[in-house]
Amino acid sequence: MGLRRIVLWDIDHTLIDTRGVGRELSELAFERATGLRMHRQAKIDGITESVIFRETARLHGLRTDRDDFGRFAQALTEAHAQRAADLRERGYALPGAAKALDAVAAQRGWVQTVVSGNVRAVAEIKLRTFGLDSHMLWEAGAFGEDADERSDLVALSLERAGVQAQDAVIVDDTPAGAEAGAANGVRVVAVATGRSSMEELRKAGANVVLSDLTDTQRLMAALRRYAGDR
């Protein structure tokens, strides 16, 4: 694509918070795909949707395959489309998210995309719902249907974008995101806007840890340091 620099954004608890709507829609999709009510859910932070579905199904005594996941992903997409108004009313874009995306977009030669455990269709609905989708180069991203491991998603996004690891930077709120960056030689700017503390994010290998995205100047300084012109 001839890109020079790329920022790889996580979505949930990095750019938005669904305030419980996401869990409700997962329950709905799980029941539609399996015929069983979802009484428990596997670990979700930093985990791809395919793994979450497989491990949640296992908690309910089910063994699943890719066809089962395909049905779940379709049901999950439909549920998000049907409940977009509810998502907009109850959820919100995290403070500073819109300004951060605008600031990156203003950098000459930079692009930005999504690397997320969400399936792509759901990722698009989530960001569109909160007006955060316009700057994303979606074809350079990697999503929950593409691979099970977060580190593989990062590698795939670099390949799709046609950039080297030193020309990319990840923004994520989870230790899994920091670890995926380290596994690929990609620097990570972590934000402690999810369930992990600043110390936990540092221990996971994040290069910079911010409390949130509200200080756009500080965020951009970190991004320029790790993915700017050298």
pLDDT digits (tens, 9 = 90+) for 18-56: 999 999 999 999 999 999 999 999 999 889 999 999 999
Residue 153: closest CA among 130, 124, 184: 184
C-alpha distance across the termini of the chain, in Å: 20
* Mean pLDDT, the chain, whole residue set: 96
CA distance 162 to 214: 30
Confidence of residue 4 (pLDDT cuts 50, 70, 90): confident
pTM for this prediction: 0.95
110 forms beta bridges with: 5
Instruction: Count CB neighbours of 73 within 10 A.
Output: 24
